[in-house]
Amino acid sequence: MNYEVLKFVEHGKLCRVVLDYIPGELLFQRLQREPTVGKKELYDWLLGLVTQLEQWYKQGVKRYYRYLNPYSILLCPEGKTYLLDLESKNNAFVLRNLQKRVMRTHFLKADQERDYGNHEILDLYSLGKTIQFLMAHSDISPELSKGEESRLLSFVEKCLSENPQKQWDNFMQAKKEMFKIHSTAHLKRTRSRGSKLAIAAIFAILALTGGFVLHGQLFGGEGEMEVVEAAEQVNLIEGIRMGEVDEMEDGLFEDGCINCIDGHQHE
């Protein structure tokens, strides 16, 4: 399926956008079809996404991208990542999905309409939430090492933090850090299946609660129960998304929502 996307052409410190119509698969669709994601593929997606958002702001625009989520990110066969053009009528399904309260609650900052002055903070928040979704709904192979997991958790925390001292100010900072994470990834290192499941559970908890917990606090006692409960909630969401459960709060993944995407695909 082809989608209308934004492509950026850099001129020194500035950037201009051109529109293109290219084939690809939405991030949501990719994880629904095949949750297994190669480690290099994961890091390429993340670096590509952060780069696209940095280029968005290098245009000198006074507005933020606003609706970053797994429905607005296109993955191309050659591995590149693009942002959908949200002003295109063909991509209107992205905005329709965000009319759902649960969708807005998860991917958009609660006080989204507040005048922050620095709009990048709002898109950084949505980026953090999107990475949480990606990590909670994917099976990374080879598995992440403890160091890689820690660096990604720290990156997400800086996207979501309300503390000005612990958050990114702009995407230039975020890109610099993601480039460092990408370049230091141990792409051939493997871990046990138990460790891999624990990592998925950590990101599942973060995706569902928006909170942050240390790796060691998740094992034994109450922490272990939190992992189980989070996994059960993720399974419920997955069932709704796949049409196995009839409804959820505000109908986020009801059949009509899925159909609006499938319908777009077959136009």
Tell me what the mean pLDDT of segment 54-82 comes to: 91
Tell me what the mean pLDDT of segment 66-88 comes to: 94
Residues near 1 by Cβ (< 8 Å), separated by ≥ 6? 23, 24, 25, 264, 265
Considering only residues 27 and 211, tell me which one the structure prediction assigns the higher pLDDT.
Answer: 27
Q: Give the residue from 64, 58, 73, 78 showing the smallest Cα distance to 16.
A: 58
pLDDT of res. 46: 98
Q: What's the pTM?
A: 0.72
User: How many residues in the chain?
Assistant: 267
The helix (run of H) or strand (run of E) holding residue 206 is helix 193-209
Per residue in 169-209, pLDDT (tens digit) is 999 999 999 999 999 986 654 444 444 555 555 555 555 54
Tell me if 82 sits within 8 A of 6, measured CB to CB: yes
Strands 73-75 and 139-141: unpaired
Per residue in 112-152, pLDDT (tens digit) is 666 566 789 999 999 999 999 999 999 999 999 999 999 99
User: 119 is written with which tokens?
Assistant: 């709009």
Q: Give the residue from 151, 29, 116 showing the smallest Cα distance to 124.
A: 116
Tell me if 176 sits within 8 A of 54, measured CB to CB: no
User: 35 is written with which tokens?
Assistant: 């949750």
pLDDT of res. 180: 96
Tell me if 136 sits within 8 A of 200, measured CB to CB: yes
- The percentage of residues in the chain with a pLDDT greater than 70, rounded to a whole number, is 67
Domains of the chain, by residue range, sit at: 2-189
Tell me what the mean pLDDT of segment 67-94 comes to: 94
Cα-Cα-Cα-Cα torsion 229, 233, 234, 235, nearest 10 degrees, comes to 100
pLDDT of res. 239: 40
What is the secondary structure of 13-52 as a DSSP string?
TEEEEEEEEEE-EEHHHHHHH--EEEHHHHHHHHHHHHHH
Superfamily of 2-189 according to CATH:
Transferase(Phosphotransferase) domain 1 (1.10.510.10)
pLDDT of res. 143: 93
Residues near 45 by Cβ (< 8 Å), separated by ≥ 6? 27, 37, 75, 81, 134
